[in-house]
Amino acid sequence: MKNEFWKALHCNVTEWMKEAGGILEQSFTDQLDVQYKTSYDDLVTNMDKQIEQFFIQRIHQHYPDHRIISEEGFGDDVTSSEGILWLIDPIDGTMNFVHQRRHFAISVGIYEDGVGRAGFIYDVIADDLYHCIKGQGAFLNQAKLPMLKDVKLNESLFSINATWVNKNRRIDPEIMQPIAKSCRGTRSYGSAAIELAYVASGTLDAYFTMRLAPWDYGAGLILIEEVGGKATRVDGSPIDLLNQNSLLVGKKGLQEEIVQHIKNEVSKGKFIQKAD
Ligand code: 2AM
Ligand code: CA
Ligand code: CA
Ligand code: CA
C-alpha cells in the first residue's frame, strides 16, 4: 500500500482511538458489568466488548477486505498473516481499568503481509497516544520519540511481573532473579501495551514476560522497532505474530545481554517453557 494510504489510515485510527478513549472515560459514571473469563484474575467487562465492536464496525466500514484479530472474539478467524491484518486489544489492563480506573490502554497494530506498518497505543487517562507509521518515526502525542540509546544493565529500569521471579510453571524463578537484582530497579504496570509503549519512549529500558497474545504486543512491537529497539522471545527466537509468545523487548545491547544470560542458564539445565 502507498504512503498516502497509511497517512489516511493513521488519521482515521487516531480519531477512533480518541473517540473510544472518551467512551471509556464516560463509562466510569455507569455501572460496570465485570465477569470472569478463565479464572478469578482473568476479567472482562461490558466495555472491553463495546470498544472492540466499536473498532470492528469502523474497520469493516472503511476497510472491508482487512482482517482482524482481537481479544474478545468479535474479529475474524485468522490463520495466515497475508494481506492487511489488525491486532486489537480494546482494553489492555482490564484489571487496572476495573480496580484503578487508570493505567489501561487501547492497542491497535496494523500489519501488511506480516510486516508492521502502523502502531497505536493510547494510555487513555494520561491522554498519551504513542503512534507511528513504519519508516516515519514514532511519536508520543506531537513529540517525536528519539532513537533508543544503549544502557548498561546496572543503570537500567527493567519491567517484569513478580510472577516470573517466583515459583511458576513457565520459567525457573532463578533465571531472572539475578537480572532483577543487578538492574537499577524493576517496575510492573499491569498493562503490557503500556509497558511496550514505555520501552519505545525510553521510560523503561526493557520488558520481560512469559506469555502474551498477538493483540497484546501487535502495536508495541511496531513502535519499538521504529525507534531501533529489539524484540524477540525470551530465548532469542523470533516472535510468531499469530500466536502466544514469551517476549523480551528493550534497548538493543541490553536485550541481547539478557537473552544471552537466559540461554546460559538454560544450557546449565534451568527450565524454561518452549513457545506456547
Ligand atoms: P488484558 O488486560 O488485556 O487481559 C497484565 O499483567 C497484562 O497481561 C495485561 O496486559 C493483560 O492484558 C495481560 N494478560 C492478562 N491475562 C492474560 C492471560 N491469561 N494471558 C496473556 N496475557 C494476559
Ligand atoms: Ca483479558
Ligand atoms: Ca491485553
Ligand atoms: Ca484486553
From 92, 123, 164, 168, mutation site for ligand 1 pocket: most ligand atoms within 8 A of C-beta: 92
CATH of the domain at 231: 3.40.190.80
Interval 9-65: pLDDT, tens: 999 999 999 999 999 999 999 999 999 999 999 999 999 999 999 999 999 999 999
- Which tens digits make up the pLDDT trace of 68-92? 999 999 999 999 999 999 999 999 9
On whether both 120 and 160 belong to a single domain, the answer is no
**Shared domain check, 170 and 80:** no
Give domain status of residue 276, yes or no.
no
Residues 221 and 242 in one domain: yes
- Ligand 1 pocket test, pick from 69, 94, 108, 191 with the greatest ligand atom count within 8 Å of Cβ, gives 191
Percent of the chain with pLDDT over 70: 99
pLDDT per position as a tens digit, 164-195: 999 999 999 999 999 999 999 999 999 999 99
* For ligand 1, atom 9: residue with the closest CA: 191
Q: Do 251 and 216 fall into the same domain? A: yes
Q: State which of 91, 121, 144 marks the end of a domain.
A: 144
For 97-117, the pLDDT digits (tens) are: 999 999 999 999 999 999 999
Ligand 2 center from residue 129 Cα (angstroms): 21
- Which of the four pLDDT bands, split at 50, 70 and 90, describes residue 274? confident
129 and 66 housed in the same domain: yes
Q: Residues 6 or more apart from 264 whose CB is under 8 A from it?
A: none
Q: Which three cell numbers stand for residue 255?
A: 536485550
Ranges assigned E (strand) in 18-127: 34-36, 43-45, 67-70, 84-92, 105-112, 115-123
Per-residue pLDDT of 208-252, as tens digits, reads 999 999 999 999 999 999 999 999 999 999 999 999 999 999 999
Q: Would you say residue 230 lies in a domain?
A: yes
My answer on whether 9 and 81 are in the same domain is: yes
Residues 117, 183 share a domain: no
* 195 touches ligand 1 (CB under 6 Å): no
Question: End of a domain among 117, 144, 171?
Answer: 144
ipTM of the prediction: 0.95
In a domain, 224, yes or no: yes
Q: Is the CB of 106 under 6 A from ligand 1?
A: no
Query: 120 Cβ partners below 8 Å, 6+ apart?
Result: 13, 14, 17, 106, 107, 108, 109, 129, 130, 131, 219
Expressed as residue numbers, the domain containing 200 is 153-267
Give me 93's grid cell: 489492563
- Identify whether residues 136 and 182 lie together within a single domain: no
Q: Give the per-residue pLDDT at 1.
A: 81
The count of structural domains within the chain is 2
Are the C-beta atoms of 93 and 125 separated by less than 8 Å? no
- pLDDT tens sequence across 121-135: 999 999 999 999 999
Assigned domain for 101 exists: yes
Examine residue 209 and state whether it is found in any structural domain, yes or no: yes
Same domain as 231, residue 105: no
**pLDDT band with cut points at 50, 70 and 90 for residue 275:** low
| Closest atom of ligand 1 to CA, residue 215 | 3
> Does 132 lie in the same domain as 18?
yes
Residue 273 lies in a domain: no
- In a domain? residue 115: yes
In-domain check, residue 274: no
Q: Is 8 helix (H, G, I), strand (E, B) or coil?
A: helix
Distance from the alpha carbon of residue 115 to the mean position of ligand 1, in angstroms? 24
Where a domain ends, among 94, 115, 144?
Answer: 144
Cα radius of gyration (the chain)? 18
Whether residues 60 and 103 share a domain: the answer is yes
CATH code of the domain containing 133: 3.30.540.10
Does residue 113 sit in the same domain as residue 157? no
Name residues with Cβ closer than 5 Å to ligand 4, which is an ion: 71, 89, 91-92
